[in-house]
Structure 1
């Protein structure tokens, strides 16, 4: 999720756990910092664009590592404030502020390797967009009221924010399941393959869902809306160019993107250069993560991420209105 959501979630969780043992602002500040810490791995440069993408949300998001580091952070926080609250009291709040970060990231499509060091599988529920105001605003508003009112009324408002945001996550999973069932049934009715389908929400909402359908030689995109569920599913197909992947098979970079995207990738060739795109993030032919692998005669030793066109907000909301 976006940094604002993680910041506010960490603060809200810490306030809920610490209660009246410390001033609410103090608990919120500690939780906000801890809720942000895991994403500091974005400042690490692993040497190339593909490593930077696939090594984000790794050790810093692993539940075991965050659990192990939480007592140390609690001890540091207790020493910083020098109050009567010992580190053992801070520990649950800091631990929850840390681990709710990867658990929230888990709900997005990107992929979070929270099982390290046991497994490096990039888990993703894919039921919520990376930025969704309906998740963040209840947390933000209720936390703001809590800090303003303080005491027991403030704590109640904070709990309301956490409850509303959590219910919204549950809603996203339920509606994703409904959308997936409807989309797959429509594909079957049209005689189209439905064995490898990804269903994710479109930007800023959980009402319109984007699906990616994978076949050996092509991929399709289609949109389904909760407000017009009976509209015929219109699938737009593009080639995946499996013959290009055959040329790079065994190349670490190509194999890495194929693995990280769970097979939702497509190849292309432009100006003699072979590219690979992660189809999960983006739409049409503009994908957030598209990489230049080079030419068959000279592969890139440090693949570059190609720029992707980002539509204006007005265009995004216009498209959303049409799809609704």
Structure 2
């Protein structure tokens, strides 16, 4: 999740645990610090753009390592504030703050390596967008209320935490419902793997991605639409290109991190690899130029994200002004490069 959400969650958790026994402001401050701590790994340079993407949410988000840090940070807090009598309470608070950070991140689709150093598997539920106001705003409101009113308003902070947990459960339930609908409607693609993720800032409009050896398909499903038919747009894959680059170490890295939801595309003299999970067609978050030689540094393509266009598209779809099958307007990854050929097939596949 975004930094503001993690700060709000960390503060709310710390206030809920030690706010009645210690200072509410003190608990909120240390909760915010501990909630931010795992994301400081963004300042680590792992050598290239692909490694920085893959190793973010790595060891710093490990449940094992964070469990080791918790007693030390709790001890430091107690020493600074001379509250050793409250060490057990501070330990519970800091442990919960540190551990809920990667667990919340796991609810997004990015990939969080919870099990390091025993496994580098990127756990990803994908039931909530990386920024979701309906998750974050209640936490902020409850936190602001308790900071203003003091211990008398601790119930507001607790209520905000309960609401945020219920919202996460709602996201999982909505995702499973959309997955069931999409699975039933995509029976023509029996060999395809399927991914269901929310679109920007909401859990009402969902993106469905199907992928097999020959193509990937993108469709959208709104929980507010009466028409439940999903229209998939087909994007062919170059099997020969995959065969040629299947042993390239950078391609293998992205394939493992994206759990197979990636695409290779020839653009002029360059081969572009894209993580298909984040963003959507013509507006993906992570695209890289595959180095011609394995020892060369992989380069990330800049993302020309026009957030206002994306939000307007989501809003128009949710309000029924346009169908969920409508695509975002063309938005090339690199505005300075010549437009790449559009490999979409003109016909849409509608599932019924």
Q: Which of the five TM-score ranges fits, normalised by the shorter chain? A: over 0.9
Which residue in the other structure is 1:184 paired with? 183
Is the Cα–Cα contact under 8 Å of residues 224 and 323 in structure 1 kept in the other structure?
Answer: no
Is the Cα–Cα contact under 8 Å of residues 62 and 116 in structure 1 kept in the other structure?
Answer: yes
Is the Cα–Cα contact under 8 Å of residues 193 and 215 in structure 1 kept in the other structure?
Answer: no
The alignment partner of 1:301 has SS state of coil
**Once the 2 structures are TM-superposed, how far is the Cα of residue 254 of structure 1 from its aligned partner?**
0.6
The alignment partner of 1:150 has SS state of helix
The alignment partner of 1:266 has SS state of strand
Is the Cα–Cα contact under 8 Å of residues 60 and 66 in structure 2 kept in the other structure?
Answer: yes
Which residue in the other structure is 1:318 paired with? 312
Question: Could you give the per-residue CA deviations for residues 15-44 of structure 1, whole angstroms, max 9, x where no partner exists?
Answer: 111132111000010111000000000110
Give the unaligned 5+ runs of structure 2.
319-352
Is the Cα–Cα contact under 8 Å of residues 193 and 210 in structure 2 kept in the other structure?
Answer: yes
**Once the 2 structures are TM-superposed, how far is the Cα of residue 117 of structure 1 from its aligned partner?**
1.6
* Larger CA deviation: 126-135 vs 179-188: 179-188
Between the aligned partners of 2:170 and 2:232, the Cα distance in structure 1 is 26
Q: Say if 2:201 is the partner of 1:204.
A: yes
Which residue in the other structure is 1:239 paired with? 236
Which residue in the other structure is 1:281 paired with? 278
Match for residue 300 of structure 2 among 300, 305, 312: 305
TM-score (norm: length of structure 1): 0.95
Is the Cα–Cα contact under 8 Å of residues 18 and 93 in structure 2 kept in the other structure?
Answer: yes
Is the Cα–Cα contact under 8 Å of residues 17 and 89 in structure 2 kept in the other structure?
Answer: no
Question: Could you give the per-residue CA deviations for residues 175-230 of structure 1, whole angstroms, max 9, x where no partner exists?
Answer: 10001111111222xx2346411000000000000011101011110000001152
The alignment partner of 2:305 has SS state of coil
**Once the 2 structures are TM-superposed, how far is the Cα of residue 316 of structure 1 from its aligned partner?**
1.8
Is the Cα–Cα contact under 8 Å of residues 271 and 289 in structure 2 kept in the other structure?
Answer: yes
The alignment partner of 1:110 has SS state of coil
Which residue in the other structure is 1:156 paired with? 155
Which residue in the other structure is 1:141 paired with? 141
Question: Could you give the per-residue CA deviations for residues 164-183 of structure 1, whole angstroms, max 9, x where no partner exists?
Answer: 11100000000100011111
CA RMSD of aligned residues (A): 1.4
Between the aligned partners of 1:229 and 1:177, the Cα distance in structure 2 is 18
**Once the 2 structures are TM-superposed, how far is the Cα of residue 267 of structure 1 from its aligned partner?**
0.3
The alignment partner of 1:69 has SS state of helix
Which residue in the other structure is 1:65 paired with? 65
Between the aligned partners of 1:158 and 1:117, the Cα distance in structure 2 is 35
Is the Cα–Cα contact under 8 Å of residues 292 and 300 in structure 1 kept in the other structure?
Answer: no
Between the aligned partners of 2:66 and 2:168, the Cα distance in structure 1 is 23
Between the aligned partners of 1:7 and 1:178, the Cα distance in structure 2 is 30
Is the Cα–Cα contact under 8 Å of residues 211 and 261 in structure 2 kept in the other structure?
Answer: yes
* Larger CA deviation: 277-286 vs 75-84: 75-84
**Once the 2 structures are TM-superposed, how far is the Cα of residue 318 of structure 1 from its aligned partner?**
2.1
Is the Cα–Cα contact under 8 Å of residues 108 and 126 in structure 1 kept in the other structure?
Answer: yes
Aligned length: 318
Is the Cα–Cα contact under 8 Å of residues 78 and 87 in structure 1 kept in the other structure?
Answer: yes
Give the unaligned 5+ runs of structure 1.
none
**Once the 2 structures are TM-superposed, how far is the Cα of residue 311 of structure 1 from its aligned partner?**
2.0
**Once the 2 structures are TM-superposed, how far is the Cα of residue 300 of structure 1 from its aligned partner?**
6.2
The alignment partner of 1:234 has SS state of strand
Which residue in the other structure is 2:167 paired with? 168
Structure 1 residues 84, 51: closer, same or farther in 2, change over 3 A?
closer
Question: Could you give the per-residue CA deviations for residues 214-247 of structure 1, whole angstroms, max 9, x where no partner exists?
Answer: 0101111000000115242111111222321221
Is the Cα–Cα contact under 8 Å of residues 223 and 323 in structure 1 kept in the other structure?
Answer: no
Between the aligned partners of 1:216 and 1:322, the Cα distance in structure 2 is 33
* Larger CA deviation: 98-107 vs 265-274: 265-274
